[in-house]
Amino acid sequence: MTSVIDDGAFSHRALLRSMDAGGLRGIIRHGGYEGQTAGLAPGRLQASLIILPCEFAGDFLRYCKKNPKPLPLIGVSRAGVPAIPQLGDVDLRTDVPRYEVYRRGIFEEGCTDIRTRWRDDFAAFAIGASITFEHALAARGVELRPMRDYKTLPMFRTSIPTTPAGPFSGNLVVSMRAVRREDVDKVRAVTARFPHAHGAPIHVGNPAAIGIADLDNPDWGDALAIGRHEVPVFWASGATARDALQRAAPRIYITHSPGHMLLTDVDGRSDIGSFKAF
């Protein structure tokens, strides 16, 4: 039986950070790691994963294309095929550390393997994640305090509407990081080079300006206090899809658990190019 690596053990985290994306997926695939993926596979694109019945897939594809800032689509599977070859040797049923299963928009359970839940009428969507650019910020001397002090990036619904497609609609969801004031311009410049990981932030400063009433109560993730020399910085988030899915309420859909992303072989700053749809 494969032993599970403790998410919080420093020696194990150091080992994981030394591995490439393929090696990490192998460990995850065999049940050896169930933790979060921040700081892992530096330089590789990390992705949110959305799996839903094909009857909703066309509308969801259009929703992503109409809202590319929160939903930068990097790959779509063929119907019933648990792989997106352009992302690497990926098994979508096993290669995410933790999944969440929803029915009619209501959370049913979390799990680490969805092989028994996979269906021939499923289509999967991979959406670039902002965790991708954190290594580049660290390399430029931008220390993101949240990487040490909390477990899941705080995410908030905003008052900014998205462009609807079929049953999918709702407002933009953003993720938030605490950034030192003197680093804000550097953060903008660095993250803009990662368009498939949400790119540059959409807002800096007063959360009320984008409809966020209380930073202590995120809609997803953990609250993060803003220090005296810091400002809140907000990026468009793939959690926008979570809000839209909850509203559309397909009979079943599956996502990654927040912070537990799909690790791909794609360079974080590369041009994804065209992909084969379902």
**3-class secondary structure, 155:** strand
Q: Map out the domains of the chain as residue ranges.
A: 132-240
pLDDT tens profile 169-209 = 999 999 999 999 999 999 999 999 999 999 999 999 999 99
Per DSSP, the residues of 236-269 read E-TTHHHHHHHHH--S-EEEEPTT-PEEEEEETT
d(CA 44, CA 21): 7
Total-model pTM = 0.89
Per DSSP, the residues of 157-220 read EEEEEPPPBTTB--EEEEEEEEEEGGGHHHHHHHHTT-GGGT-S-SEES-GGGGT---TTS-SB
d(CA 57, CA 278): 8
pLDDT tens profile 32-60 = 999 889 889 988 999 999 999 999 999 99
pLDDT tens profile 210-266 = 999 999 999 998 899 899 999 999 999 999 999 999 999 999 999 999 989 999 999
pLDDT tens profile 76-135 = 999 999 999 999 999 999 999 999 999 999 999 999 999 999 999 999 999 999 999 988
Residue 145 has what DSSP assignment? T
How many Å from the N-terminal Cα to the C-terminal Cα in the chain? Answer: 35
Beta strands in 29-93 (DSSP E): 44-53, 73-76
Architecture of the domain spanning 132-240: 2-Layer Sandwich (3.30)
